[in-house]
């Protein structure tokens, strides 16, 4: 009855934001709190989750960072196309372009070996007592933090010894409060069964990433194999298909608008139990700074790629990676602006403070809590602008990384005793050469110079109190931009670190010489390196302090919110439910919850990211133009839910989750009925493509369709 309770609570506490209807990434242990029958579920709860018998949960499987589910009693797994992409790429060669053409193993023996491993949850238990043992007597935050890590390592070791055949993982459900031990069976022989052509599985590309209406066939099929004894085993030709304890039945008729659906999956990370200041930090600093900086980097790469096709190809992948983040971040900023999430969190924090102030017992225990949190965040916000920049300097510029790393080693080397010098050179340079070279690689000199200039400009224009001393000279120049541009242009070629081959040679052949190198960028880079280190130390201290304060705040939140409290997502198995539902992304615009084959063809006519081979267009043109392709639902998902099965009220498979709408990027901070919508490929499109394009009648038969 939680939902009704929530509504009533909403009426009584008009300042509370906790009155959504379909919110929640429920840990299975919390499922009893929800009246799922009333919400629309037509099977008993223990058909979904039953610690003492078989249930749908046992059809779930983790495939890499994704979720998948068994759809036959012979180990057939359905997940996303993008979850299989790496494996398809590895399986392809110049003669077999499975990425472009797709792949269908007509028979078992043709299924292709991959390096993917899959995990099935065998069992789990609450081990909070074991993890928190002895912590209450430690008051120093960093010592406490250390002890916690030790305890977890100990449990891990004990469990691994007790269950050598299983994979052991300790998950923090509530920071400093609640820990769960998961035991997974790991299947090591996973093979490709069917992947549609990239033009179907990635249809819409970057243009449609985080976008609804969507027309992407983002699904693939794999099969899990085990040794002849039925136990997990490495690949062997004569391995046999794995028989799952449970597999999902297909509902080939799909669902319709407002139908009840639910998802089981492994959502990655959310930040819903953080104080309001966390959201403010995100909204005012992190999201705008990172998205602007990534935008700048993307623009430079696009600009250089326009005139040089080879560069354009080389930059395609880094651009895609950065664009995925900026689009997500901009969506979050828009969401935080349009919704009252931040204001609601502030009101909740204030209400909790008022609750504490009213109650002497709470006051004794929590009286300093919010002032302490405020103090820590005030400290963090004071230099947030500079620290975010520092955090990007060495990951954005290979030259800065190399000069900063070597420069700081030169400083440290002064204090190294003669006898230890060789060992210092080995451990700090030779042993780390791979990592050093990776971080200091420069893909294009012109790009590197532009990024260097922009980074230095940003630093030189910081408020004087935050500005690193080494940038003072630029800051006092008449024209800061010009001074920096001149400095970079004059010195770039002179720097050892701009010549990767030369640098690599020295690092490999005479690493000791690096400790004597003088380089034009080294003074600045070392200064910034030291600033970054100082920031990181301060930040670790703050996080250690917060790791004691946040659990307290969560205690308080549980008192305040009562039964509606749920822990943040942490890559463990969660349940979420809701309804097939459209939404309004903007004034006067309505997005309906189903897309159709006619939309695929309309988009395909525009080419570009919507490229679709003629033979596929012709094939789709023979289908009913109103055949369903993708669908939309107000469920509570986040990254990690990729590939999660979407099930109807009877627990039958009706689609595969693969993305969220642009406005649902805010799910990381809060679920919102107006904006939180997730996107799945409809099982009807899966069946259409498998049958018509993949000629996979046999797979349909195997799935009982």
The residues of the shown chain that bind a second copy, judged by CB under 8 A, are 212-213, 215, 303, 306, 334, 337-338, 582, 586-596, 598-599, 602, 605-606
Distance in Å, CB of 222 to a second copy, minimum = 30
> What distance in Å separates the CA atoms of residue 131 and residue 178, rounded to the nearest whole number?
9
Distance in Å, CB of 323 to a second copy, minimum = 18
> What distance in Å separates the CA atoms of residue 651 and residue 56, rounded to the nearest whole number?
8
Geometric angle at alpha carbon 621, from 615 and 627, rounded to 5°: 125
Residue bearing tokens 């975010």: 388
Is the Cβ–Cβ distance between 441 and 498 less than 8 Å?
no
Distance in Å, CB of 605 to a second copy, minimum = 6
CB of 266 or CB of 631, closer to a second copy: 631
Distance in Å, CB of 207 to a second copy, minimum = 13
CB of 337 or CB of 433, closer to a second copy: 337
Residue bearing tokens 């099969």: 223
CB of 219 or CB of 631, closer to a second copy: 631
CB of 164 or CB of 607, closer to a second copy: 607
Distance in Å, CB of 79 to a second copy, minimum = 24
Which pair of tokens denotes residue 550? 């946040």
Give SS3 for 432. coil
Angular region, 588: left φ>0, alpha ψ -120 to 50, beta rest: left
Q: What are the C-alpha distances in Å from 27 to residues 33, 46, 118?
A: 11, 14, 21
> What distance in Å separates the CA atoms of residue 544 and residue 541, rounded to the nearest whole number?
5
Distance in Å, CB of 587 to a second copy, minimum = 3
Is the Cβ–Cβ distance between 207 and 609 less than 8 Å?
yes
HEC secondary structure over 170-239: EEEEECCCEEEEEEEEEECEEEEEEECCHHHHCCCHHHHCCCCCCCCCCCEEEEEEECCCCCCCCCCCCC
Distance in Å, CB of 82 to a second copy, minimum = 22
Is the Cβ–Cβ distance between 671 and 620 less than 8 Å?
no
Kind plus residue range of the DSSP H or E element containing 667 = none
CB of 503 or CB of 675, closer to a second copy: 675
Residue 187 backbone dihedrals phi, psi, to 5 degrees: -95, 130
CB of 380 or CB of 449, closer to a second copy: 449
Cis peptide before 213 (omega within 30 of 0): yes
Distance in Å, CB of 338 to a second copy, minimum = 7
Beta bridge partners of 170: 181
CB of 450 or CB of 574, closer to a second copy: 450
Contacts of 342 (CB under 8 A, 6+ apart): 276, 279, 280, 283, 336
CB of 215 or CB of 345, closer to a second copy: 215
CB of 347 or CB of 598, closer to a second copy: 598
Distance in Å, CB of 415 to a second copy, minimum = 47
Which of 322, 298, 317 shows the shortest CA–CA distance to 447?
A: 298
CB of 306 or CB of 363, closer to a second copy: 306
CB of 25 or CB of 600, closer to a second copy: 600
Distance in Å, CB of 563 to a second copy, minimum = 34
Distance in Å, CB of 691 to a second copy, minimum = 22
CB of 192 or CB of 304, closer to a second copy: 304
Distance in Å, CB of 699 to a second copy, minimum = 27
Distance in Å, CB of 333 to a second copy, minimum = 9
Geometric angle at alpha carbon 198, from 195 and 199, rounded to 5°: 130
Length of the chain: 705
Which pair of tokens denotes residue 556? 């308080």
Which pair of tokens denotes residue 489? 């242009």
CB of 136 or CB of 589, closer to a second copy: 589
Residue 573 backbone dihedrals phi, psi, to 5 degrees: -65, 125
Which pair of tokens denotes residue 552? 């307290």
Geometric angle at alpha carbon 302, from 301 and 306, rounded to 5°: 120
Give SS3 for 682. strand
Give SS3 for 596. strand
CB of 38 or CB of 306, closer to a second copy: 306
Distance in Å, CB of 488 to a second copy, minimum = 17
CB of 423 or CB of 602, closer to a second copy: 602
Contacts of 327 (CB under 8 A, 6+ apart): 209, 210, 662, 665
Q: Could you please report the per-residue DSSP string of 534-547?
A: HHHHHHHHHHHHHH
Distance in Å, CB of 470 to a second copy, minimum = 29
Which pair of tokens denotes residue 659? 């993305």
- From the CB of residue 572, how many other CB atoms can be counted at a distance below 10 Å? 21
């Amino acid at each position: 009855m939680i939902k009704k309770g929530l509504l009533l609570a909403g009426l009584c506490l008009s300042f509370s934001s906790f009155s959504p209807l379909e919110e929640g990434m429920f840990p299975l242990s919390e499922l009893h709190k929800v009246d799922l029958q009333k919400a629309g579920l037509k099977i008993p709860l223990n058909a979904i989750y039953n610690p003492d018998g078989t249930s749908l949960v046992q059809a779930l499987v983790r495939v890499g960072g994704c979720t998948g589910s068994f759809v036959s009693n012979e180990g057939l797994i359905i997940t996303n196309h993008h979850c299989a992409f790496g494996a398809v790429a590895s399986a392809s060669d110049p003669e077999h372009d499975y990425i472009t053409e797709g792949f269908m193993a007509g028979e078992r023996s043709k299924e292709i070996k991959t390096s993917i491993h899959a995990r099935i949850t065998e069992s789990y238990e609450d081990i909070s007592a074991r993890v928190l043992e002895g912590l209450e007597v430690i008051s120093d935050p960093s010592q406490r933090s250390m002890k916690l890590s030790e305890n977890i390592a100990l449990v891990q070791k004990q469990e691994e010894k007790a269950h050598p055949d299983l994979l052991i993982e300790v998950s923090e459900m509530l920071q400093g409060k609640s820990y769960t031990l998961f035991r997974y069976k790991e299947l090591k022989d996973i093979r490709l069964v069917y992947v549609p052509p990239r033009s179907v599985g990635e249809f819409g590309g970057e243009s449609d990433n985080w976008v609804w209406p969507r027309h992407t066939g983002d699904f693939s099929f794999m099969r899990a194999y085990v040794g002849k004894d039925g136990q997990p085993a490495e690949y062997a030709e004569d391995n046999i298909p794995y028989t799952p304890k449970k597999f999902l039945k297909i509902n080939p008729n799909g669902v319709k608008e407002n139908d009840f659906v639910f998802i089981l999956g492994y959502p990655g990370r959310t930040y819903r139990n953080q104080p309001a200041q966390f959201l403010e930090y995100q909204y005012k600093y992190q999201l705008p700074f990172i998205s602007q900086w990534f935008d700048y980097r993307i623009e430079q790469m696009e600009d250089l790629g326009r005139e040089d096709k080879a560069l354009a190809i080389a930059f395609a992948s880094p651009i895609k990676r950065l664009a995925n983040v900026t689009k997500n971040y901009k969506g979050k900023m828009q969401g935080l602006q349009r919704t009252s999430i931040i204001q609601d969190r502030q009101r909740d924090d204030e209400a909790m403070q008022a609750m504490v102030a009213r109650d002497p017992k709470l006051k004794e225990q929590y009286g300093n809590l919010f002032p302490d949190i405020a103090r820590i965040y005030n400290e963090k916000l004071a230099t947030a602008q500079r620290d975010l920049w520092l955090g990007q300097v060495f990951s954005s510029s290979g030259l800065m990384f190399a000069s900063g790393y070597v420069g700081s080693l030169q400083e440290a080397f002064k204090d190294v005793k003669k006898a230890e010098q060789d060992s210092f050179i080995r451990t700090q340079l030779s042993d780390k050469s791979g990592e050093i070279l990776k971080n200091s690689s420069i893909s294009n000199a012109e790009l590197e110079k532009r990024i260097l200039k922009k980074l230095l400009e940003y630093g030189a224009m910081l408020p004087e109190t935050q500005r690193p001393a080494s940038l003072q000279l630029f800051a006092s120049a008449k024209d800061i931009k010009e001074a920096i541009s001149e400095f970079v242009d004059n010195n770039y070629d002179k720097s050892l670190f701009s010549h990767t081959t030369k640098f690599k040679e020295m690092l490999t052949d005479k690493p000791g010489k690096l400790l004597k190198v003088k380089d034009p960028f080294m003074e600045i880079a070392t200064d910034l390196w030291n600033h970054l280190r100082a920031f990181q130390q301060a930040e670790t201290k703050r996080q250690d302090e917060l790791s004691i304060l946040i659990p307290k705040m969560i205690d308080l939140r549980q008192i305040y919110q009562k039964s509606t409290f749920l822990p943040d997502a942490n890559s463990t198995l969660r349940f979420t439910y809701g309804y097939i539902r459209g939404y309004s992304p903007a004034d006067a615009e309505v997005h309906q919850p189903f897309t159709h084959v006619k939309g695929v063809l309309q988009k395909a006519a525009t080419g570009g990211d919507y490229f679709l081979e003629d033979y596929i267009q012709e094939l789709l043109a023979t289908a009913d133009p109103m055949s369903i392709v993708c669908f939309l639902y107000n469920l509570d998902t986040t990254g990690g839910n990729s590939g999660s099965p979407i099930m109807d009220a009877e627990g039958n498979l009706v689609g595969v989750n693969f993305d969220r709408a642009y406005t649902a990027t805010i799910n990381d901070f809060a679920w919102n009925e107006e904006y939180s919508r997730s996107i799945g490929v409809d099982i009807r499109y899966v069946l259409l493509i498998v049958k018509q394009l993949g000629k996979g009648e046999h797979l349909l038969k195997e799935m009982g369709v």
